[in-house]
Structure 1
């Protein structure tokens, strides 16, 4: 076969088929099957001779799995830890030897640098891009607003929420969270006080509380330690590193996160509260070091964190105008302070009253002048509206109420009674008509007064445990909620619950004014009815008093028997006198001739003598004869 020459293809055929033919008649007759009873066809009896050849098989167990096999591999990667370091570069990049406050040294140093050759080259090199940027800024106004007249569109969005993070208690025995506080740098950290307030609880709890980083729920940013459990904690609004807290034994502590977990200052036991410190708030002062605390012992104390040996001022919550006494002091369950009103504060008591205090008043009675009967039970939370400072929110019993300082008798707005007890509440920092309420069934209610006043706008099931406290962020985007199981939940809401519309503030103002005016009218009518009832009561009491006086006078005089006896003898004397007078008149009439009243012609007789005249004359004569100077 020569290469390069095309050969014809080779055809191969293999006969692999065979056809077999058979007639139908050769198949035989078709089969027909019928049902019949069982018959014994063959029976073989056992043969003992074959038993010797039988070999039993050893059993072998072997498992067989027909399903598919899967393999599981786990890998736990280490979390990258990031740290932020900042340098405050206010004075400029001057060498250490040169003071930026000495002008002569600065001038000398500038001359020395300007003489250097590298300085001129560096300036020339940097001048070209700087000139280019300057020309661009001059040509284009980057701050110009092109759409000033366009009204922003109304946000149409479904109400929603989502849980961003869950921060759990690091101890084996879980403790409830009592108070929460956001850091003043925009909410990068949040502090929580972990304490169990159950009386005579045999379980021993740890005394540690935590400061969490919002982005790291695995490990606390700082552990707050103290001689007792921390009942309340609060960040300094002017210093991110400073915190204060009230302890379970009544002491007050001050922490600085730059100096570790232990407290920098702690108050003396003898000068502290007699009960757990359930509230601690910073006040507006020049030094930013003053704060005040309250407790259920009925005492409010002002402190300076630079020296906690003794409080600067003490106030007993006794609303009577008499001398202040610990026996009559009302236990403080909650407290509120607004920095824009540095002198005034709000106190919620365990008896259901809300007291507006004024620190600058002279006497103790004037400091606690305004009292509201808010609830029948303890007041769990008090919060002023961030835009309308005269209106404040109270949480107690089974409802939440909105009050006005101008109306003391009743609340201007109130929610209906819930099936569970409400524990805490607070206003939104950005949308002034929204407030949040926590309940014992683990739900968080969101109320918007401009949308619905009867039912909550949104209800979020946070957990199955009791919710004790909440705190809204200053930006209004997130709400921190603390549970009785020691878990801290960070919840974010949708924009329509955070962003206020253009007319929200105006509508809320008109609503508060309308409700306040209505309550004032009702209060005036009730005052008139009380005055009428009081006047009627006074008249009834006067009549009863007069009757009692008459009865007392009757009881002081003679008895009934003596009065009857005197009346009997007086009547007998009068009867004797009348009988004697009748006898005398009869004798005189016999002696005297009586003239007829008419003469024979029928004319009246001038000399007529009537019996009455005779009788009167006789009476006069009798009086003259019976006088004290008579001859008889």
Structure 2
């Protein structure tokens, strides 16, 4: 019998539990305890120590010196000491052994090694903050000293509103010892747009103002403030100097201020000192230097004036060279005041229209060595200029009367340029005197930079707001159409400053308005920049490399470096002369191979490539000191010869394009650089730019390089083309005669 009992769910009262909710906080840190500690203290105790030197009796000392043991010791040590002294005289004990090693393979280098690092940054909260740094120049004889000019960061309309206000401008001289306070300040009544140290007298600085005046400062009395010996005292008293307030150094007033009526009518655009051993008299002729120091400099402005200034204008001894202006309104008792005016001045005028050339920047033609005597040089009075209208000008400041033959040549050139090409025109000033040798249309906007290659005397770099060009001036003639050999692609941001690398022939640095610094390495690629870094968030305004100071390196490295520097200088000069004589840049690449290798290795061995510095100024008053890495500062093996061959090849190519009658040579070059060079195949070629040429351009370049053989090659090519056309028509069943007739019609 089976039965089922139902057991429903219910609560058992025996097991009912009751829980109480509580708020509890936990913390896993130790409790706060107040405590103190102090180092052990010792009472200061004055202590002294006194000793007497070991005194030996003269007889005993003589006995010791005459002993046989002493004689044997001296005979044994004498050869070793003489050998050590001879080694010190023969070898340079301060030479860096790693700097003379063989060049490493550039493909094995890491990309991180190409980074440009910022070492220092200078700014003054009172005198340079929110101001544009318009000019930079390094001290020619002291490392770590750089001068910058701070100008008002305003446009033309705001500057007109500020004309009724008197506000001084300053040149700040910074020293790497003090990163906060400038070592010296040079005061100016207007904004300084350009400045240069005197190369032989570094305590003298010349500058050009916005109102066209020229100023000269002499801070020889305060030069001890920028002495490098001050760094030792500053380091020893660093703790005390930070606690005490910095003493304000009074600004240095200008020594000479140019006479306003004889100054430029527009802002001074550029300034350069004349080379050593070269002087100009009041008629513009070159005269032998009568003073071992450099005393003359040149200024240009937008009014077309090229003015020569002399620091000795007050000395009666040089009245035959200088041109003085005496103030006749002075009192009888006081001596007459001699005004600071240019000793010689010329005006560069336009060729096909009236008015002056608006000059922006200029560079001297490199001095050539005399072939008859190895020590003397041939002084040149010619120079290159960039204008506000984008023209590239080659001029001579010596007066030359315009002859009838030159006038006829100028007429023929003007007739040839009626089609819209102004290149090759020759012009001059008024009164039948011509200074301009040739003018070439270079850019469509003002030229912002003009640089000469330190390795090739005939290669010049011009830059505008959109792109930069490379020129080979050795092949230019006034009677022919001229043009650049390289045109970079158009930039999205404005170009503001450019510079050649002082140690690598194929590297160019470009500063832009967006704060980027581009590095163009032609040994890597030529259709775009190889490296681009961000320096600051505002526009870059100026760039200047630190020069190689031979005096400092000579004192440090000893006498062995003197001979090396002299040998390098001679080899570089010989290479420069060889590169100037024939062809596009020099003679054939095979003839210059030996010279180029010697000069390239010598330059790399003597220049301090460990720390190559470049100073960059921006639009808000900051001065950036950048360190160039080893890969961008040390030339690779054979780089000079490769760049020489590249410049020669590009020169022949552009020359062939102009000879072929193509009026759009510049546009063709731009199209080639922007289109064909963008392919990756350029990196595998020798220089990139020339490998992507069209067959027609290559044929023209070969014809120009072939010379007399080019005339024989054209009929052969035409005959081959006719045969190919006949076979093509026969295969397609077409009548070749009808096609030829139609093509002829």
**TM bucket by the smaller chain?**
0.5 to 0.7
- The equivalent of 1:358 in structure 2 is 396
> What pairs with 1:455-466 in structure 2 (closer than 5 Å)?
455-466=528-539
1:371 match: secondary structure: strand
- The equivalent of 1:191 in structure 2 is 147
1:161 aligned to 2:116? yes
Instruction: Please report how far the alpha carbon of residue 134 of structure 1 lies from its aligned counterpart in structure 2 after TM superposition.
Output: 3.5
> What pairs with 1:61-72 in structure 2 (closer than 5 Å)?
none
> What pairs with 1:105-504 in structure 2 (closer than 5 Å)?
133-138=81-86, 142-143=90-91, 151-154=102-105, 156-157=109-110, 158-171=113-126, 174-185=130-141, 187-196=143-152, 198-201=155-158, 202=161, 205-259=167-221, 261-284=252-275, 285=278, 286=289, 287=291, 288-307=294-313, 309-320=340-351, 328-338=355-365, 340=367, 342-363=380-401, 364=428, 366-405=434-473, 406-407=475-476, 409-475=482-548, 477-504=612-639
Structure 1 pair 67/232, CA: closer, same or farther in 2 (3 Å)?
A: farther
Larger Cα-atom Rg: 1
Instruction: Please report how far the alpha carbon of residue 138 of structure 1 lies from its aligned counterpart in structure 2 after TM superposition.
Output: 4.5
1:304-329 Cα shifts (integer Å, max 9, x gaps): 1222622121111213389xxxx600
TM-score by length of 2: 0.51
Structure 1 pair 523/136, CA: closer, same or farther in 2 (3 Å)?
A: same
Q: Would the aligned equivalents of 2:471 and 2:484 in 1 still touch at CA under 8 Å?
A: yes
1:1-24 Cα shifts (integer Å, max 9, x gaps): xxxxxxxxxxxxxxxxxxxxxxxx
Q: Would the aligned equivalents of 2:507 and 2:519 in 1 still touch at CA under 8 Å?
A: yes
More helix as a share of residues: 2
Instruction: Please report how far the alpha carbon of residue 520 of structure 1 lies from its aligned counterpart in structure 2 after TM superposition.
Output: 0.3
Instruction: Please report how far the alpha carbon of residue 148 of structure 1 lies from its aligned counterpart in structure 2 after TM superposition.
Output: 13
Instruction: Please report how far the alpha carbon of residue 224 of structure 1 lies from its aligned counterpart in structure 2 after TM superposition.
Output: 1.0
Partners of 2:491 and 2:651 in 1: CA distance: 24
Partners of 1:147 and 1:429 in 2: CA distance: 21
Partners of 2:99 and 2:534 in 1: CA distance: 42
Q: Would the aligned equivalents of 1:481 and 1:490 in 2 still touch at CA under 8 Å?
A: yes
Structure 1 pair 130/184, CA: closer, same or farther in 2 (3 Å)?
A: farther
Structure 1 pair 416/522, CA: closer, same or farther in 2 (3 Å)?
A: same
Partners of 2:146 and 2:88 in 1: CA distance: 43
How many residues get paired?
416
Over the residues paired in the alignment, what is the CA RMSD in angstroms?
3.6
Q: Would the aligned equivalents of 2:467 and 2:488 in 1 still touch at CA under 8 Å?
A: yes
Partners of 2:389 and 2:300 in 1: CA distance: 15
Partners of 2:126 and 2:529 in 1: CA distance: 35
Q: Would the aligned equivalents of 2:451 and 2:461 in 1 still touch at CA under 8 Å?
A: yes
Structure 1 pair 70/427, CA: closer, same or farther in 2 (3 Å)?
A: farther
Instruction: Please report how far the alpha carbon of residue 151 of structure 1 lies from its aligned counterpart in structure 2 after TM superposition.
Output: 4.1
Structure 1 pair 139/272, CA: closer, same or farther in 2 (3 Å)?
A: closer
Structure 1 pair 139/151, CA: closer, same or farther in 2 (3 Å)?
A: closer
Partners of 2:136 and 2:33 in 1: CA distance: 50
TM-score by length of 1: 0.60
1:378 match: secondary structure: coil
1:562-581 Cα shifts (integer Å, max 9, x gaps): xxxxxxxxxxxxxxxxxxxx
Partners of 1:69 and 1:380 in 2: CA distance: 68
Correspondence for 2:15 among 31, 41, 47: 31
- Which moves more between the two structures, 503-512 or 261-270? 261-270
Structure 1: runs of 5 or more not aligned: 1-27, 35-64, 72-120, 531-632
Instruction: Please report how far the alpha carbon of residue 69 of structure 1 lies from its aligned counterpart in structure 2 after TM superposition.
Output: 11
2:620 match: secondary structure: coil
Q: Relative contact order, CA 8 A, sep 6+: which one is greater?
A: 2
2:15 match: secondary structure: coil
Structure 1 pair 360/137, CA: closer, same or farther in 2 (3 Å)?
A: same
1:182-216 Cα shifts (integer Å, max 9, x gaps): 11126431111111362242466541121111342
- Which moves more between the two structures, 140-149 or 487-496? 140-149
Q: Would the aligned equivalents of 2:366 and 2:457 in 1 still touch at CA under 8 Å?
A: no
